[in-house]
Amino acid sequence: MKKGTVFIKNAAELVTCSGFGPKFGKAMEELHIIPNGAVYIEDGIIQIVGTTEEVERKLPQSPEQVIDAAGKAVLPGFIDSHTHFVFGGYRAEEFSWRLRGDSYMEIMERGGGIINSVRATKEASREELFKAGKKRLDSMLSFGVTTAEGKSGYGLDYETEIKQLEVMDEIDRVHPIDVVKTFLGAHAVPKEYKGREDEFIDFIIEKVLPEIVERNLAEFCDIFCEKNVFSVEQSRRLLSKAKEMGMKLKLHADEIVQLGGAELAAELGAVSADHLLQASDQGIAAMAEKGVIATLLPNTAFSLREHYARARYMIDHHCAVALATDLNPGSCFSESIPLTFALATLYMGMSPEEAVTALTINAAAAVDRADTIGSIDAGKKGDIVILEFPSYKYIPYHVGVNTVEKVVKNGRLVFD
Ligand code: NIG
Ligand code: FE
């Protein structure tokens, strides 16, 4: 009996989401479902996929662990490709102000918002950040998330940005969820640089970025490209430099105001552009042409009472759409995948099939990992979600409630 062998059998439906790259347009509807499906995993890697009968016939030995998924749907682990899960403090007070009518940007402009979390993150010890961040990942795991992206951006200085990324590394080492790290040093303009945004970008480029790259502290570089935060020109300058230094790119683009962030993402060959509530038709066309993943964050639009991104239009215009939670202490304090599913299907015109694709293989592409995760294919990581119900259709149907019963990560049962 070889170590680390798992056999999941009798699945009412095995939703494989099969593929090794993002799905565009109509292809987002195809889930590749195997009724009475099974999957065999060895040493963390998927080896055999098929009907229970087929896989049983091909089993090389008797597996160490057998999971009977009779009456349950089995899916690839979800990938939350946009989060800010390491931060200090909370902003519940600001949420109440927003409920009374203040806007997110108004609060930011009078010195609250992101800057508020920057102060708390600077004050927090590594241990406090580690403990809180790890707990947030526990909650995400219970929703079926097996890979999560996490951003810095609550330091806006050399020390705290690096502290956040190092803490993410530490959490990654002890937690079943794989963490993909993004450097978001240009998340807001720190007080001492108000009116001198270009100098702040110079500081990031000259003082922080080289250290991040040299120590391989982050794989992606991101920026909040927004009116009254960083302009398209400033974003182009920072991201071009990061790209030159070998980093992959993401953008917080066209969230509140249509600035041309989607166009910039296409111009720079970013892996993804995120939010996109205000993205223009031309920006969407450019992203589709260049294969930039459109990562939509409905939990944030919901929390900010903004209208939703144009998912239907994007898919119909051949964009690869991913969904993520955007968990953060300000605009969206929610890691709820059930909420993401509910909003995407009820309010953004996405079908349940498209939403599943958007949280699996397309989300894998949004973190540049479509070759190793995001589908149940031989050769990929054994990251699997088992639902309490017989079909993925129950995820949006059981509105806002968690339908995940078990999670297998790298072939190990980590949530039950
Ligand atoms: O993705 N839009 C900018 N950044 C985050 C919010 C961060 C915060 O409010 O703390 C976002 O929504
Ligand atoms: Fe964000």
Instruction: Compute the distance from residue 376 Cα to the ligand 1 centre, in Å.
Output: 32
The Cα angle at residue 375 between residues 311 and 266, in degrees rounded to 5:
40
Helix (H, G, I), strand (E, B) or coil at 359: helix
Q: In what order do the strands lie in the sheet with 78-80?
A: 78-80, 145-151, 178-186, 220-225, 248-253, 272-275, 293-296, 321-323
Model confidence at 111, pLDDT cuts 50, 70, 90, reads confident
Mean pLDDT over 301-318 rounds to 97
Instruction: Compute the distance from residue 273 Cα to the ligand 2 centre, in Å.
Output: 11
For residue 83 and ligand 1, the question of a CB distance below 6 A is answered with no
Q: Is 310 annotated as a binding residue?
A: no
Strand partners, 295: 274, 322
Model confidence at 328, pLDDT cuts 50, 70, 90, reads very high
Instruction: Compute the distance from residue 336 Cα to the ligand 2 centre, in Å.
Output: 15
For residue 113 and ligand 1, the question of a CB distance below 6 A is answered with yes
| Number of other CB atoms surrounding residue 283 within 10 Å | 25
| Number of other CB atoms surrounding residue 280 within 10 Å | 16
How far is the CA of 256 from the CAs of 197, 224, 293, in angstroms?
Answer: 19, 11, 19
The Cα angle at residue 188 between residues 331 and 84, in degrees rounded to 5:
45
Residue 67 has pLDDT above 70, yes or no: yes
For residue 116 and ligand 1, the question of a CB distance below 6 A is answered with no
Model confidence at 331, pLDDT cuts 50, 70, 90, reads very high
Mean pLDDT over 249-254 rounds to 98
Residue 93: CB partners within 8 Å, gap ≥ 6?
none
Q: Is 351 annotated as a binding residue?
A: no
Starting from the CA of residue 153, give the closest ligand: 1
What are phi and psi for residue 13, nearest 5 degrees? -145, 130
Contact 115, 190 (CB under 8 A): yes
- Which of 326, 327, 333, 340 to mutate for ligand 1's pocket (most ligand atoms within 8 Å of CB)? 326
The closest residue, in CA terms, to atom 8 on ligand 1 is 330
Whose CA is closest to 103, among 114, 111, 94?
94
Mean pLDDT over 353-366 rounds to 99
Strand partners, 415: 407
Residue 47: CB partners within 8 Å, gap ≥ 6?
40, 41, 60, 378
Which stretches within 175-295 are classed as H helix?
197-203, 209-214, 232-244, 261-268, 281-290
**Cα-only R_g, the chain:** 21
Instruction: Compute the distance from residue 56 Cα to the ligand 2 centre, in Å.
Output: 44
Q: In this predicted structure, what is the pLDDT of residue 109?
A: 86
The interface predicted TM-score of the complex, written ipTM, equals 0.97
Q: In this predicted structure, what is the pLDDT of residue 1?
A: 37
* Pairwise CA distance, residues 416 & 404, whole Å: 9
Sign of the dihedral defined by the CA atoms of residues 386, 389, 392, 394, in that order: negative
**What are 23-38's pLDDT values in tens digits?**
999 999 999 999 999 9
The closest residue, in CA terms, to atom 1 on ligand 1 is 326
113: left (phi over 0), alpha (psi -120 to 50) or beta: left
The closest residue, in CA terms, to atom 5 on ligand 1 is 331
Give the ligand 1 atom nearest the CA of 82. Answer: 1
For residue 328 and ligand 1, the question of a CB distance below 6 A is answered with yes
Mean pLDDT over 316-334 rounds to 98
- Which of 83, 114, 136 to mutate for ligand 1's pocket (most ligand atoms within 8 Å of CB)? 114
Q: Is 326 annotated as a binding residue?
A: yes
Instruction: Compute the distance from residue 52 Cα to the ligand 1 centre, in Å.
Output: 45
Residue 390 has pLDDT above 80, yes or no: yes
- Which of 93, 183, 187 to mutate for ligand 1's pocket (most ligand atoms within 8 Å of CB)? 187
Give the ligand 1 atom nearest the CA of 114. Answer: 10
Instruction: Compute the distance from residue 14 Cα to the ligand 1 centre, in Å.
Output: 36
- Give kind and range of the element (H or E) at residue 139: helix 126-142
Instruction: Compute the distance from residue 367 Cα to the ligand 2 centre, in Å.
Output: 14
Domains detected in the chain = 5-77+374-415 (2.30.40.10), 79-366 (3.20.20.140)
Starting from the CA of residue 120, give the closest ligand: 1
Contact 137, 69 (CB under 8 A): no
**Cβ-count burial of 193 within 10 angstroms (0-12 exposed, 13-18 middle, 19+ buried)?**
middle
Give the ligand 1 atom nearest the CA of 329. Answer: 10
Q: In this predicted structure, what is the pLDDT of residue 191?
A: 92
Is the pTM higher than 0.95? The answer reads: yes
Q: In this predicted structure, what is the pLDDT of residue 3?
A: 55
Q: In this predicted structure, what is the pLDDT of residue 2?
A: 44
Q: Provide the Cα torsion 140, 146, 147, 149; round to 10°.
A: 0
Distance of CA 51 to the CA centre of its chain: 31
Kindly provide the b/e burial profile for residues 307-324, where b requires at least 16 CB atoms within 10 angstroms of the residue's own CB. Answer: ebbbbeebbebbbbbbbb
Mean pLDDT over 117-128 rounds to 98
Instruction: Compute the distance from residue 317 Cα to the ligand 2 centre, in Å.
Output: 24
* Pairwise CA distance, residues 36 & 15, whole Å: 11
